[in-house]
């Protein structure tokens, strides 16, 4: 009977030991199960880093300088961009910068779009010199894929003027008064008569009084038309940006007709 008691004691001890191990492993069970699920899901999904195996590049960049505020001097550049890829459908990000001769960024723009293989899909970037000096401005484009990998770059330089450069101020000066020295006294006019100098002075004053409001009105209307045309050009340029980004701008087009 004694050996049987010892065997029963060993079995009981093993059960207690296994129970303690099981209780210890309970907190790690969810982690273990999550790891198995994650590895199984990863095995069935394509490798997202495979995107870096594709190459995106600028197939063509067509720049065009123009005068956005209609002052007679070109102050802006638009870039028509076609990007190709060695992959299939890819989302891309194009960032544009305009720098002056000192390396200061005077304007920037960007566009996000989708491309497919070597199909032709145009994107647009618009850059403007709002202030500064006339001269050559360096233009840069940087291309990134949908995983923020840098893919390609492009650069060129353009001679541009700041906005408003051609709007020279109009200064109207009043006639400078002067005195006429006569060495001998001038005979006084007869009763009921006016001298030629008095009549000339009255006539000149009348012309100034009549012409001044007319010139002021003409100048003010011209400034209003110039500002209105500049705003219309600016809104049209913004509309073209929205069109390039895929927005429906048909209602805006009707407003400009």
> What pLDDT, on the 0 to 100 scale, is given for residue 256?
63
* Count of structural domains, the chain: 2
> What pLDDT, on the 0 to 100 scale, is given for residue 139?
98
**For the residues of 24-37, what is the DSSP string, one character each?**
HHGGGHHHHHHHHH
Q: Is residue 143 part of a domain?
A: yes
Q: What is this structure's pTM?
A: 0.48
Last residue of one domain, picked from the residues 116, 145, 165:
165
- CA 67 to chain centroid: 16
- List, in sequence order, the alpha helices (H) in the chain: 2-25, 29-44, 196-244, 250-256
> What pLDDT, on the 0 to 100 scale, is given for residue 235?
76
State whether 156 and 62 are in the same domain: yes
State whether 104 and 156 are in the same domain: yes
Phi, psi values for residue 209, rounded to 5°: -65, -35
**Which tens digits make up the pLDDT trace of 177-203?**
555 555 555 555 555 555 566 667 777
Cα Rg of the chain, angstroms: 40
Other CB atoms within 10 Å distance of the CB of residue 133: 12
* 8 Å CB contact between 75 and 54: no
Q: Is residue 91 part of a domain?
A: yes
> What pLDDT, on the 0 to 100 scale, is given for residue 207?
66
State whether 200 and 156 are in the same domain: no
Q: Is residue 20 part of a domain?
A: no
Q: Which residues pair with 143 in a beta bridge?
A: 94, 152
* 8 Å CB contact between 127 and 141: no
> What pLDDT, on the 0 to 100 scale, is given for residue 49?
38
Q: What is the CATH number of the domain that holds 63?
A: 2.60.40.10
* 8 Å CB contact between 111 and 104: no
State whether 119 and 156 are in the same domain: yes
**What is the domain extent for residue 250?**
193-257
> What pLDDT, on the 0 to 100 scale, is given for residue 129?
97
> What pLDDT, on the 0 to 100 scale, is given for residue 15?
57
Last residue of one domain, picked from the residues 165, 183, 218:
165
* 8 Å CB contact between 136 and 113: no
- CA 202 to chain centroid: 58
- In whole angstroms, give the CA distance from residue 253 to residue 34: 55
Strand pairing category for 135-145 and 105-116 = unpaired
Q: How far is CA 167 from CA 84, 147, 214, 222, in A?
A: 42, 46, 21, 12
Q: Is residue 8 part of a domain?
A: no
State whether 124 and 215 are in the same domain: no
Other CB atoms within 10 Å distance of the CB of residue 139: 21
**Which tens digits make up the pLDDT trace of 203-231?**
777 667 776 666 666 766 676 666 567 67
State whether 137 and 209 are in the same domain: no
* 8 Å CB contact between 212 and 225: no
> What pLDDT, on the 0 to 100 scale, is given for residue 237?
81
State whether 157 and 205 are in the same domain: no
Distant-in-sequence, close-in-space partners of 141: CB < 8 Å, separation ≥ 6: 58, 61, 79, 81, 94, 95, 96, 125, 153, 154, 155
Q: Is residue 39 part of a domain?
A: no
- List, in sequence order, the alpha helices (H) in 61-195: none
Ranges of the chain whose pLDDT falls below 70: 1-52, 168-199, 206-207, 211-217, 219-221, 223-228, 230, 252, 255-257
DSSP designation for 163: T
Last residue of one domain, picked from the residues 118, 149, 165:
165
Q: Is residue 244 part of a domain?
A: yes
Q: Is residue 31 part of a domain?
A: no
Q: Is residue 122 part of a domain?
A: yes
């Amino acid at each position: 009977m004694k050996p049987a008691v010892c065997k029963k004691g060993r079995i009981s001890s093993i059960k207690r030991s296994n129970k303690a191990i099981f209780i210890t492993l309970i907190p790690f069970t969810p982690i273990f199960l999550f790891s198995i699920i994650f590895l199984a899901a990863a095995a069935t999904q394509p490798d997202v880093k495979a995107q870096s195996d594709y190459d995106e590049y600028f197939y063509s960049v067509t720049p065009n300088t123009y005068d956005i505020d209609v002052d007679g001097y070109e102050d802006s550049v638009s870039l028509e961009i076609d990007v190709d890829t060695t992959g299939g459908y890819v989302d891309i990000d194009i960032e544009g910068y305009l720098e002056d001769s000192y390396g200061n960024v005077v304007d920037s723009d960007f566009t996000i779009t989708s491309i497919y293989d070597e199909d032709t899909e145009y994107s647009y970037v618009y850059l403007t010199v709002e202030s500064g000096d006339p001269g050559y401005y360096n233009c840069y484009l940087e291309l990134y894929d949908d995983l923020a990998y840098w893919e390609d770059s492009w650069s060129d330089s353009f001679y541009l003027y700041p906005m408003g450069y051609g709007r020279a101020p109009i200064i109207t000066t009043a006639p400078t008064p002067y005195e006429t020295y006569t060495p001998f006294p001038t005979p006084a006019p007869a009763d009921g008569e006016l001298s030629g100098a008095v009549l000339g002075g009255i006539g000149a004053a009348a012309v100034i009084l009549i012409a001044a409001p007319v010139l002021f009105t003409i100048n003010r209307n011209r400034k209003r038309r110039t500002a209105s045309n500049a705003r219309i050009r600016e809104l049209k340029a913004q509309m073209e940006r929205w069109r390039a980004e895929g927005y429906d701008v048909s209602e805006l087009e009707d407003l400009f007709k």
